[in-house]
Structure 1
Amino acid sequence: MTVQPIGETCSDDVLVSAARAGDRTAFGLLYGRYARVVHGILLCRVPPRDVDDLVQEVFLLVLRQLHSLRDISRFGAWLSTITRNRANDYYRKASPVDRATDPAGEEQAEIRTNDHAVEQEAAMTLAVLRTLPETYRESLTLRLVEGMTGPEIAARMGLTHGSVRVNLHRGMQMLREKLDEKARSAAQNMGKAR
């Protein structure tokens, strides 16, 4: 029997099996492959200031629960579900002040205090993106913020490439419409202010 060394070219199934057996290198490689997915899903749901800490919490939880994963070929979908649940828990455990803080409103506050036009535009776009339906919001965040390709998103999320392509296309249409609407509204408000 030949033992394949754990490396970056190993399949997720091999890495999950090795990580279940206690191989920390394999788990580190899984972290490297999936950290952007977890970050993107959380960025859609919780205030940006808390995303990095929650990414770490998700992976610690995954490490503890890896033995409960029934089908190792579904690791990406399982991880995504854990991430969404952790985001929901964030709001259940949050203080009333944190719960009252709307993530989209938080970006608006950042826009007002930020001097850089590009950063303002990015924060506004993220705020608008967060108003989209979950399916589009996640796919677009992974594409636009995390820089993942359609096939990468499909592979990491356990989706078909076709469904990701449709989600990205429809999501971009919705995002453009909402951004255009927001720009028109801002222009009208500027006209009224004069």
Structure 2
Amino acid sequence: MEHVLETDRVPAVLTFQASGRSRRVDEQPADVASGLGALAATIRAVAAGDQDAFAQLYADYVRMVHAIVLGRVPHRDVDDLVQDVFLTAYTRVAELRNPAAFGGWIAAIARNRATDHLRQSREQVELPEDLPGGDPIQAETFAVLEVVRKLPEAYRETLLMRLVEGMSGAEIAERSGLTPASVRVNLHRGMKLLRERLGGET
């Protein structure tokens, strides 16, 4: 899945395209210590205004952020909110004291942005995503997504990272800050619960 930071919604300093720079699903994460060192260096560069460094952060974390937002808001609103999350992260990254916490930090920004969006949208009339006459495959996809959205947060986010974004278990752990064991448990229990709920709707 390709995610591109839209150039018409960002200041000139953030004008770049990050597509094609995400790690392949089958790649293994680098040594934890060296990985954290590289992340710290990247974050320092971003704080100093290095847009190439920010492009790398975007490429590395966009799928996780997309999954978190997708689990909370209508599909049509997701891409715009993902852009907002990264713009917020760019303007506030200097506040981050512990670079190792970047994954959890930007995940929290994503959750808060999605929550704010839903709160602001409460008084608006929301159209269903699976309107009559649409693509039946797309309608089925949205129906499954609605079931996933009702799962506990830990299961929901991990499942969307794996099933929608194509992230490996190791990559989910590396990006989110969860332990590999926690990711495995979330995926196993989440899939079990998803199958049960989908089976109950048939």
d(CA) in 2 for partners of 1:50 and 1:137?
18
Q: Does 1:82 align with 2:102?
A: no
Please name the residue that 2:133 is paired with: 113
Identity %: 48
Q: Determine which of 80, 87, 93 is the counterpart of 2:120.
A: 93
Q: Does 1:41 align with 2:61?
A: no
Letter of the aligned partner of 1:147 in structure 2? G
CA deviation digits over 1:143-184, x for unaligned, max 9?
A: 11111111111111111010010000000000000000011x
Cα 1:140/1:68, change in 2 over 3 Å: same
Please name the residue that 1:17 is paired with: 44
Higher helix fraction (1 or 2): 1
d(CA) in 1 for partners of 2:197 and 2:122?
31
Other structure's SS at 1:148 match: coil
Deviation above 6 Å: which 4+ runs of structure 1? 7-10
d(CA) in 2 for partners of 1:80 and 1:13?
17
TM-score for the superposition, normalised by structure 1:
0.81
Q: Does 1:51 align with 2:78?
A: yes
Instruction: Note the C-alpha offset of 1:127.
Output: 1.1
d(CA) in 2 for partners of 1:47 and 1:126?
10
d(CA) in 1 for partners of 2:172 and 2:40?
17
Instruction: Note the C-alpha offset of 1:69.
Output: 0.6
Other structure's SS at 1:106 match: coil
Structure 1 unaligned regions, length at least 5 = 1-6, 184-194
Instruction: Note the C-alpha offset of 1:95.
Output: 5.0
Please name the residue that 1:191 is paired with: none
Q: Say which structure, 1 or 2, has more relative contact order (CA 8 Å, 6+ apart).
A: 2
Other structure's SS at 2:128 match: helix
Q: Does 1:180 align with 2:202?
A: no
Instruction: Note the C-alpha offset of 1:45.
Output: 0.3
d(CA) in 2 for partners of 1:29 and 1:54?
19
Other structure's SS at 1:147 match: coil
Please name the residue that 2:87 is paired with: 60
Query: How many residues align structurally?
Result: 169
Other structure's SS at 1:113 match: coil
Instruction: Note the C-alpha offset of 1:120.
Output: 2.9
Moved more, 48-57 or 85-94: 85-94
d(CA) in 1 for partners of 2:97 and 2:121?
31
Please name the residue that 1:171 is paired with: 190
d(CA) in 1 for partners of 2:104 and 2:199?
33
Other structure's SS at 2:166 match: coil
